[in-house]
């Protein structure tokens, strides 16, 4: 028999698990389940329950229970155990609303739009709304948030993630986790780790240095773990040659030992590749749309033969149970099947909230001559483009794949851009015409005859396939269950022709991430609305007409051309011989453009408002624990109310070998015209640390503190000296 060395944390959990507490018995449905006593801690209750479980009971907890399961319209299920008062674990996809086969749930804006709000308070509310809907539907484990990094802007799932910066992604995910779990639903961080492309996702190895992994790819997960996330989903790909779901380094050393993750690791659907190796290296639950095959009978046999120590199995189950107790799954059971799965979970509050996130995430990129907002009355507006009317069919109200929230049941249909503009325009006595743009001459005549032309352009993105290019003409098509297929379009030509016919042309983009804009200099307005959820048309219209001030900021850099991308070589993306080499190192997103002095079309953090903001009075002082406190004032110097997102970028001493600027803090402040607000942002010691040979290290020297409205629009500069 092979002796397996268990990591310290697993053994200590085992010791805790075995020190069973005596709790007062309580009876549920005629069954005696002492662990239902809520006066004990989650760990005590889990220990008590674990001690009552047989080997078979434990094995049943660590794998999907049913083939092609669709109970409650969900995508995964671990059957409860009535004898032990254990509720079912019902899992569903969730990044942009409760998905799967679920009906009557709200289609919220895509996660990339959520990140563009730069508003963790709003994101926490989103988590709570999402959790509430899930719970009503009988789901108590949501497979979100997604935290892979926007390393490759063509990644078909970037819409499911929070952009290219680990700090912004981590803060956003942490907020969602807090909101979601407040509703007694477990959050699942995915896809751990570096599932940064869909091309060859089940075979590719993401090859990365330890420093880059620690500084770019892990911090978002760490922030969300710190917020208490109950579950982590390991990914399909390999990390440095080892399948993520059986890699001790990332599962046990980084996640469980270094970050202190106390929850459980589940595999992505069929991302488990072994029994003994996966179990001993840190996987706690095998998931898929079928049962097993690795953590079923094979795991039982491995435990009986000592290949997987019983202590490891106990630890797997203990982690699941403790999380279920901690998040409240035992004490706040979901409504009973089957009525819950068919009830309409969506309330007016949720619909309204979906609109609010969409509004807050919309990014105004260009507004030549103050064409926007459209405050005039009696204007003629030509709305152009298939995306303006076909959002439902094109699947651009949210992205495609497992995260897609379908529109069926009694749920109202998507409010399209055309509907939103027509309804809102009517209140200004504006007249709206529509041209699909399939005939460019027809669109041109409509634009020429109108005061303002609004062209909707789009790309499609979904799971399983990357976009062929950031060129809009190659990035549109249609998405179905099997992913998206791409067909050539003439969107660039359409926009250029419309802009030539009418200089007062505004382009509204419904894209899952950055796109190229060869026509950017020709149009008057550009609005990035992402995949904005079912209330998209209302949100877009409210921004265009100035009912709400645009305050979203880009969570990803928009390049001028494909050749500017950091991952422009085949070795980096999509990889050669099964390896994607992350040789751009730390230079992901804006870090690359800054270091290489390549001017993007739009920068990370960019986003205009209908008002203007002035910055003044920067002060940087040391804080305890090796951090700093940055304070400054922001004044609304324009004539309208608006919100600004001041961003703090740290520049390390050159000896540290870091990229020029790194986001380490931000805030979002709403200001009335003329109002000034003092903003204070705390930076902890990690903001001044890089990953060196012996872990997190502070280089002695002067650190630049750059405060601005975007990574390219630094308004205030200061310094702070740190001792090494
Ligand atoms: C595979 C996807 O990668 C994952 O994100 C999803 O949660 C599962 N399928 C379940 O649908």
Token reading at 199: 């091309």
Substitution candidate for ligand 1 out of 90, 98, 143, 195 with most atoms within 8 A of CB = 143
Q: Is the pLDDT reported for residue 4 higher than 70? A: no
Q: Is the CB of 269 under 6 A from ligand 1?
A: yes
Q: Is the CB of 268 under 6 A from ligand 1?
A: yes
Q: Is the CB of 93 under 6 A from ligand 1?
A: yes
| Cα–Cα distance, 718 to 72 (Å, whole number) | 55
Name the percent of the chain lying above pLDDT 70. 93
pLDDT of residue 16: 38
DSSP code per residue over 183-221: TT-EEEEEEETT---STTTTT-EEE--HHHIIIIISHHH
Q: Is the CB of 75 under 6 A from ligand 1?
A: yes
pLDDT of residue 465: 96
Residue 337: pLDDT band (50, 70, 90) is low
Q: Is the pLDDT reported for residue 1 higher than 60? A: no
- For the entire predicted model, the pTM comes to 0.95
Compute the average pLDDT of residues 512-538. 98
Q: Is the CB of 190 under 6 A from ligand 1?
A: yes
- Report the greatest alpha carbon distance in the chain: 84
| Strand 380-384 to 89-93 pairing | unpaired
Angle between helices 42-50 and 310-327 (to 10 degrees): 140
pLDDT of residue 31: 55
Per-residue pLDDT tens digits for 549-560 = 999 999 999 999
| Strand 242-243 to 380-384 pairing | unpaired
Sign of CA dihedral 229, 327, 84, 79: negative
Residue 724: pLDDT band (50, 70, 90) is confident
Q: 239: helix, coil or strand?
A: strand
Atom of ligand 1 nearest to the CA of 195: 3
Sign of CA dihedral 659, 602, 220, 461: negative
Per-residue pLDDT tens digits for 215-234 = 999 999 999 999 999 999 99
**How many CA atoms, within 13 angstroms, populate the side-chain half-sphere of residue 205?**
14
DSSP code per residue over 359-376: HHH-EEEEEGGG--S---
- Which helix or strand (DSSP H or E) is residue 501 part of? helix 491-501
Residue 357 Cα to ligand 1 middle (Å): 24
Which phi and psi angles does 97 have, rounded to 5°?
Answer: 130, 165
Residue 98 Cα to ligand 1 middle (Å): 13
Q: Is the pLDDT reported for residue 11 higher than 80? A: no
pLDDT of residue 335: 85
Substitution candidate for ligand 1 out of 93, 200, 286 with most atoms within 8 A of CB = 93
Q: Is the CB of 402 under 6 A from ligand 1?
A: yes
Query: 462, exposed or middle or buried, with CB in 10 Å at 0-12, 13-18, 19+?
Result: buried
Q: Is the pLDDT reported for residue 26 higher than 70? A: no
Q: Kindly report the three-state secondary structure assignment for every residue of 265-294.
A: EEECCCCCCCCHHHHHHCCCEECCCCCCCC
Q: Is the pLDDT reported for residue 481 higher than 90? A: no
Q: Is the CB of 141 under 6 A from ligand 1?
A: no
Residue 568 Cα to ligand 1 middle (Å): 28
- Show Cβ contacts of residue 601 under 8 Å, excluding neighbours closer than 6 positions: 516, 517, 520, 558, 559, 560
Q: Please, are residues 100 and 51 in contact by the beta-carbon 8 Å criterion? A: no
Q: Which of 47-61, 101-115, 437-451, 673-687 has the lowest mean pLDDT?
A: 101-115
pLDDT of residue 233: 98
| Cα–Cα distance, 550 to 529 (Å, whole number) | 10
| Cα–Cα distance, 17 to 39 (Å, whole number) | 18
Q: 45: helix, coil or strand?
A: helix
Token reading at 543: 């921004």
Q: Compute CA 604 distance to the chain's CA centroid, rounded to the nearest angstrom.
A: 16
Mind listing the domains of the chain with CATH numbers?
A: 8-327 (3.20.20.300), 362-553 (3.40.50.1700), 614-722 (2.60.40.10)
- Which helix or strand (DSSP H or E) is residue 243 part of? strand 242-243
Q: Which of 473, 474, 469, 482 is nearest to 400 (CA)?
A: 482
Q: 686: helix, coil or strand?
A: helix
Q: Which of 313, 315, 294, 265 is nearest to 63 (CA)?
A: 294
Sign of CA dihedral 357, 114, 644, 365: negative
Q: Whose CA is nearest to atom 8 of ligand 1?
A: 269
Query: 408, exposed or middle or buried, with CB in 10 Å at 0-12, 13-18, 19+?
Result: exposed
- DSSP code at position 38: T
Q: Is the pLDDT reported for residue 325 higher than 50? A: yes
Which phi and psi angles does 465 have, rounded to 5°?
Answer: -150, 140
Q: Please, are residues 588 and 566 in contact by the beta-carbon 8 Å criterion? A: yes
Which phi and psi angles does 615 have, rounded to 5°?
Answer: -115, 145
Q: How far is CA 231 from CA 224, 239, 384, 499, 712, in A?
A: 10, 20, 44, 49, 37
Q: Which of 365, 364, 366 is nearest to 503 (CA)?
A: 366
Q: What is the mean pLDDT of the chain?
A: 93
Per-residue pLDDT tens digits for 606-653 = 999 999 999 999 999 999 999 999 999 999 999 999 999 999 999 999
Per-residue pLDDT tens digits for 379-390 = 999 999 999 998
Instruction: Give me the residue label for tokens 């390896």.
Output: 579
Q: Is the pLDDT reported for residue 342 higher than 70? A: no
pLDDT of residue 409: 56
| Cα–Cα distance, 456 to 138 (Å, whole number) | 38
| Count of other CB atoms within 10 angstroms of residue 445 | 14
Q: Whose CA is nearest to atom 3 of ligand 1?
A: 268
- DSSP code at position 258: I
Q: Whose CA is nearest to atom 9 of ligand 1?
A: 269
67 or 474, which is more confident? 474
Token reading at 718: 């200061």
268 is catalytic: yes
Q: Is the CB of 143 under 6 A from ligand 1?
A: yes
Catalytic residue among 196, 254, 268, 549: 268
Beta strands in 594-712 (DSSP E): 613-623, 627-636, 642-644, 647-651, 662-666, 669-671, 676-683, 690-692, 695-697, 701-710
| Cα–Cα distance, 186 to 192 (Å, whole number) | 16
């Amino acid at each position: 028999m092979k002796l397996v060395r268990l990591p310290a944390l697993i053994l200590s959990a085992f010791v805790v698990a075995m020190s069973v507490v005596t709790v007062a018995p309580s009876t549920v449905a005629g069954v005696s389940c002492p662990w239902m006593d809520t006066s004990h801690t989650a760990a005590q209750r889990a220990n008590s329950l674990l001690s009552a479980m047989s080997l078979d009971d434990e094995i049943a907890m660590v794998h999907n229970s049913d083939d092609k399961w669709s109970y409650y319209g969900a995508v995964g299920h671990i059957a409860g155990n009535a004898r032990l008062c254990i509720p079912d674990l019902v899992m569903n996809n969730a990044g942009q609303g409760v998905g799967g086969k679920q009906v009557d749930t709200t289609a919220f804006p895509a996660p990339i739009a959520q990140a563009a709000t730069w508003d963790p308070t709003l994101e926490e509310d989103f988590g709570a709304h999402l959790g509430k809907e899930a719970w009503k539907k009988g789901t108590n484990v949501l497979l979100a948030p997604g935290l892979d990094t926007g390393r490759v802007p063509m990644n078909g799932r970037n819409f499911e993630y929070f952009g290219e910066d680990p700090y912004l992604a981590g803060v956003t995910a942490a907020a969602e986790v807090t909101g979601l779990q407040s509703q007694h639903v477990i959050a699942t961080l995915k896809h751990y780790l570096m599932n940064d492309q869909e091309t060859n996702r089940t075979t590719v190895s993401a090859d990365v240095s330890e420093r880059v992994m620690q500084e770019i790819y892990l911090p978002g997960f760490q922030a969300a773990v710190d917020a208490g996330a109950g579950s982590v989903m390991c990914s399909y790909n390999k990390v440095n040659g080892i399948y993520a779901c059986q890699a001790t380094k990332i599962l046990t050393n980084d996640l469980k030992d270094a970050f202190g993750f106390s929850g459980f690791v589940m595999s992505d659907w069929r991302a488990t590749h072994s029994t003994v190796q996966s179990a001993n290296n840190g996987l706690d639950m095998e998931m898929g749309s079928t049962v097993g095959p690795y953590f079923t009978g094979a795991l039982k046999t491995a435990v009986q033969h000592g290949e997987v120590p019983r202590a490891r199995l106990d630890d797997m189950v203990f982690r699941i149970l403790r999380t279920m107790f901690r998040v409240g799954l035992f004490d706040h059971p979901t409504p009973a099947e089957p009525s819950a799965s068919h009830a309409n979970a969506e309330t007016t509050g949720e619909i309204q909230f979906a609109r609010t996130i969409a509004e807050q995430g919309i990014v105004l990129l260009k507004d030549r001559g103050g064409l926007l907002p459209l405050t005039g009355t009696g204007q003629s507006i030509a709305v152009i483009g298939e995306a303006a009317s076909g959002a439902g069919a094109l699947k651009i109200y949210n992205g495609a794949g497992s995260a897609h929230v379908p529109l069926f049941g009694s749920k109202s249909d998507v409010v399209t851009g055309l509907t939103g503009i027509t309804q809102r325009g009517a209140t200004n006595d504006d007249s709206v015409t529509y041209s699909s743009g399939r005939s460019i001459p027809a669109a041109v005549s409509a634009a020429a005859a109108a005061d303002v032309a609004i062209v909707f352009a789009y790309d499609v993105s979904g799971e399983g396939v990357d976009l062929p290019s950031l060129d809009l003409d190659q990035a549109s098509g249609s998405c179905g269950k099997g992913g998206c297929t791409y067909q050539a379009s003439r969107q660039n030509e359409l926009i250029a022709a419309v802009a030539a016919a009418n200089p007062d042309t505004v382009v509204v983009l419904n894209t899952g991430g950055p796109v190229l804009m060869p026509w950017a200099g020709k149009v008057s307005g550009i609005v990035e609305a992402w995949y904005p959820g079912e209330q998209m048309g209302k949100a877009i219209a409210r921004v265009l007409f100035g009912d709400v001030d645009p305050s979203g900021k880009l969570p990803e850099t928009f390049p001028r051309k494909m050749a500017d991308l950091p991952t422009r070589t085949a070795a980096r993306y999509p990889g050669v011989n099964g390896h994607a080499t992350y040789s751009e190192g730390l230079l992901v997103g804006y870090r690359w453009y800054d270091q290489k002095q390549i001017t993007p079309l739009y920068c990370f953090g960019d986003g205009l408002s209908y008002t203007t903001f002035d910055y003044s009075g920067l002060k940087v002082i040391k804080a305890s624990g090796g951090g700093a406190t940055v304070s400054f004032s922001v004044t609304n110097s324009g004539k309208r109310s608006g919100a600004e997102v001041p961003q703090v970028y740290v520049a390390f001493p050159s000896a540290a070998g870091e990229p020029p600027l790194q986001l380490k803090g931000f805030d979002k402040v709403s200001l009335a015209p003329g109002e000034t607000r003092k903003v204070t942002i705390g930076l902890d010691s990690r903001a001044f640390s890089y990953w060196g040979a012996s872990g997190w290290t502070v280089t002695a020297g002067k650190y630049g503190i750059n405060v601005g409205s975007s990574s390219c629009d630094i308004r205030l500069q200061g310094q702070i000296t740190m001792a090494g």
